Amino acid sequence: MRVRVLVRLKPGILDVQGAAVQKALAGLGFTEVTDLRVGKVIEVELQTATADAARARVGEMCRQLLANPVLEDYTIEMADDLARRGAVR
């Protein structure tokens, strides 16, 4: 089972990295950018019987290690959903 985790700073927490990237884009002429936030992608392959089980296990991984609940939110995307969108090969 292939699962993709997106980890990003919670809304309201200043993303200084995102702000710096936005500024750099503005320098390149992309002045239409009004907000930009930088996050992390974590791709996990695991052996579970079902997609639900995989989602549950990865959720547990997020709570225990992959995301810091003080600062970050996460979303879990299953490979099937990603394939439908053409997001995985």
Partner 1 sequence: MRFGVVVFPGTWSDCDFHYVISEVLHQPVKYVWHRERDLADLDCVVLPGGFSYGDYLRAGAVAGRSPVVEALRDFIARGGYVLGSCNGFQILCEAGLLPGALMRNECLQYRCQSTHLVVDNVETVFSRGLRPGRVLTMPISHGEGKYHADAEALRTLKAGNQIVFRYAEADGRVTRAANPNGSLENIAGIVNPEGTVLGLMPHPERAAETAMGSADGLLLFQSLLGSLVEDGSFLKR
Q: Is 27 an interacting residue with respect to partner 1 (CB under 8 A)?
A: no
40-45/72-78 β-pairing: unpaired
Minimal distance, residue 84 CB to partner 1, in Å? 29
Query: CB-wise, 71 or 83, nearer to partner 1?
Result: 71
Q: Is 63 an interacting residue with respect to partner 1 (CB under 8 A)?
A: no
Map residue 57 onto helix, strand or coil: helix
Residue 78 makes CB contacts below 8 A (sequence gap 6+) with 1, 2, 3, 51, 54, 55
In this chain, which stretch among 25-33, 47-55, 58-66, 74-82 interacts with partner 1, using CB under 8 A?
58-66
CB 3 within 8 A of CB 81: no
Q: Is 26 an interacting residue with respect to partner 1 (CB under 8 A)?
A: no
Binding region for partner 1 (CB under 8 A): 13-14, 16-17, 20, 64-66, 68, 70-71
